[in-house]
Amino acid sequence: MIRLVQLELQKLWLNRASKVLIFISFVLPLVILLISSFKIPVFGYFTIELGEYGLFNFPLIWHLVTFFASQFKFFFAIVVVSMIGNEYSNKTLKQNLIDGLSKKEFILSKFYTIIFFSLVSTVIITIMSLCIGYFYSSYTEFSIVIRELEFVFAYFLKLIGFFSLCLLLGMLAKRSAFALAYLFVLFLLEWLLYLIMWKVWTEDIATNIQNYFPLKSMYKLIDAPFLRVAATKVPDNPQLIHDYAVHFSEIGIVLGWTALFIFLSYRLLKKRDL
């Protein structure tokens, strides 16, 4: 496993564009999160400090920060599809197989790298959340701090699932631009199917079925943090009632899709004439 990850990291390190995108995917959300924790003067008239609104209180911070950080996963998604595109354009895939790397090991090397970067991102976000939370939160008891840590695991799983999907699309397209286009088409297709089901049946049935779709199921792992914030300010508003928790069923769906993405990537590579 370590050998395969080292092989991929060496390839990424030699690619300037990949290094820049990896840096952006890690640093940008942290910079924005750090800036948002400061007092921000607005044209000298008033000052915005999100910490004063309780947004960085434990355990809410786990939900809010992981949702926010997950929105920047697109940058590393470009790296994932580029890993595959470069293998075909530079013919390193064929050379790796000639040098003794099996097709199974090739796919696993990509998957292990996805896990590695997802884990690094999760650790960084966790540390940053703890630092900001302990600085701003009104509740620092250990039992409260560790409450809802499942959002951190959901963030980790969400990254792995999404990047595994990008890996499959990269294998299908062989080109980064086409793979990202496929991702956008999948997003549109999911919503188109949802609208069709809504017209044919009911909104509830359409929503329940949509929750099993790849992109939607990943989103459902960490959703509606702003509704939750609003609910803390207006607790008696029935329109703000929402189930914010991370459920085992949602985890199982994303794990199932992830396994399917990796399996299909391997089958595609195994049958493809290189």
Determine phi and psi for 48, rounding to 5 degrees. Answer: -100, 125
Q: Among 40-54, 91-105, 135-149, where is mean pLDDT lowest?
A: 40-54
Whether 113 has a pLDDT exceeding 70, the answer reads: yes
Q: Is 167 exposed, middle or buried (0-12, 13-18, 19+ CB in 10 A)?
A: buried
Closest CA to 155 of 75, 72, 83, 212: 72
Element (H, E) at 42: strand 40-42
* Mean pLDDT across the chain: 86
Residue 235 above 70 pLDDT? no
Q: Using one digit for the tens of pLDDT, what is the confidence trace for 7-16?
A: 888 888 878 8
Which of 41-50, 68-77, 87-96, 147-156 is predicted with the least confidence, judged by mean pLDDT?
A: 41-50
pLDDT for res 89:
79
pLDDT confidence of residue 186: 96
Per residue in 175-229, pLDDT (tens digit) is 888 899 999 999 999 999 999 999 999 999 999 999 999 999 999 999 878 778 7
Say which DSSP state 272 is in: S
Say which residues have a Cβ less than 8 Å from residue 42's Cβ, sequence separation at least 6: 48
**Would the pLDDT of 245 be above 80?**
yes
CA dist., res. 148 & res. 154, Å (int): 10
Would you tell me the crossing angle of helices 150-173 and 176-200 to the nearest 10 degrees? 110
**Number of other CB atoms surrounding residue 85 within 10 Å:** 19
Answering whether pTM is above 0.75, one says yes
Residue 264 has pLDDT above 70, yes or no: yes
Question: Which residue carries 């195994």 as its tokens?
Answer: 270
- Residue keyed to tokens 């794990």: 255
Residue 255's pLDDT band, with cuts at 50, 70 and 90, is very high
pLDDT at 29: 84
The domain total for the chain is 1
The answer to whether residue 91 scores a pLDDT higher than 90 is: no
In the predicted model, what is the mean pLDDT of residues 127-140? 87
Tokens standing for 156? 């980790």
| 34/68 Cα distance (integer angstroms) | 12
% of the chain with per-residue pLDDT over 70:
89
In this prediction, residue 41 carries a pLDDT of 52
Asked if residues 75 and 237 have their Cβ atoms less than 8 Å apart, the reply is no
Instruction: Give me the long-range contacts of 100-103 (CB less than 8 A, separation at least 24).
Output: 103/266, 103/269, 103/270
Q: Which residues pair with 118 in a beta bridge?
A: none
Residue 231 has pLDDT above 90, yes or no: no
> Tens digit of pLDDT for each residue in 30-73?
887 777 666 555 555 545 555 566 678 899 999 999 998 998 88
pLDDT of residue 144: 92
What is the β-pairing status of strands 46-48 and 40-42? antiparallel
Domain of 19, in residue numbers: 2-271
